[in-house]
Structure 1
Amino acid sequence: MTKPLILIVDDEAQILRFLGHALAAAGYDTCTAATGAEALAQVAAARPDLMVLDLGLPDMDGKAVIETLRAGSDIPVIVLSARDQEMEKIMALDLGADDFVAKPFAIGELLARLRVCLRPARKGAEPLLRLGPLQIDLAAHQVTREGAEIHLTPKEFDLLLALAETPGRVLTHRQLLARIWGPAHVEDVPYLRVFIGQLRQKVEADPAQPVLILTEPGVGYRGAQPK
């Protein structure tokens, strides 16, 4: 079986060496780039399966790399950067990054995010999805836990579905608001928080300690990764 090829983009040689060894030990092939221009050239030449991207590159901002990449490629991108401010995360994700890991980082966390991003994309809507103990029936527009129905409003159902479709990946406030309520509502973050709170009351065993709908502070929400 062919190993997934991971493109590591960082201008720090130490990071390139460390990630190269760590990803090889985890069963991945790797290639590297130290600039944004090199990264875009590598995508065209090597056709990697995923990019791990630093934002602070010497020739261009990493967000510009994402924006250029998304004009013609859907390769998954995990941003790995010391820029951990909320706005940097939000901008990178809204431009098309799939996830964001702040430096310093634990390699185990990065590998877990990598596995999530490398899962095959769904070919059309599946009739049933799962989020933890929840079963989501798309055709019946119904959510059950151990056979018992959980009554959700249409917006609550759509919100849960969005999180269940991409478990483990962060969805920004703007992404969720645009999908559920439309582009005119992308700034209505308090409104989204109210709906998340209502949804947690219905689907979490302990809404004060959620395990199915996880908060990425200041950025958005994640659906729990499957066990």
Structure 2
Amino acid sequence: MRYFLDISYNGSAYHGWQIQNNAKTVQGVLNEALSTILRSEISTIGSGRTDTGVHAMMQMVHFDCEDEMDIILMVGKLNSLLPQDISVNEIKKVKDDVSARFEAGSRAYIYKIHQHKNPFKQGLSYLFHQTLNLDQMNACCEVIKSWKDFESMSKVKTEVNNFNCEIFSAFWEKQNDEIHFHVSANRFLRGMVRALVGTMLEVGQERMTLAEFEQILKSKDRKKAGRSVPAHGLYLRDITYPKDIYL
């Protein structure tokens, strides 16, 4: 039997989602907790990878279990065993051939910036003091919504067949002293959101024009794009799936 887990985590203490040798990862901790409770070797598959220090409001994970389980009881057991920085929000039974990774229709991220020092946002938002022109940054969003090839915003050493992504929505908004970047797409390349944010910040500071931003996308050259902003401002926010996968 296959189950989907909806989990949240603060990624500060982890070397990303994906299990690694000699490194603490969210997947590794989750696998261990499930294996302990179910008394068998459990291996999870996530909707996608998050890098070191990146958070998740919603990460979807699937795993297989021989016997049908009490879902409400299982949520409680997992949350009791998992550390405080990982929580299980919900468990749902799905069809046996459904993958949390391949069935995902869209993924959404939010990048959080705050502009005044605040100890309660330390490690959860990027402190960036400079004045920003949000109109110009939102003009960049209009460009990327019609773009396909994001090679210039991808980490160089990555194993993908192509760099094409379909951006469904993208916008910047101001909330009090915070500035948030929202983006959703059918897929994201490694480091793509952080590179996009870093490059759009250059436009927002008026150190780069909109035409130059578009030229960077055309170049397919990561070296010409802006820096990668810190991981701790980035959150995997939402993942969507077809309704008919659930039992």
TM-score for both structures, normalised by structure 1: 0.25
Greater percentage in helix:
1
Greater percentage in strand:
2
Higher relative contact order (CA 8 A, sep 6+): 2
TM-score for both structures, normalised by structure 2: 0.23
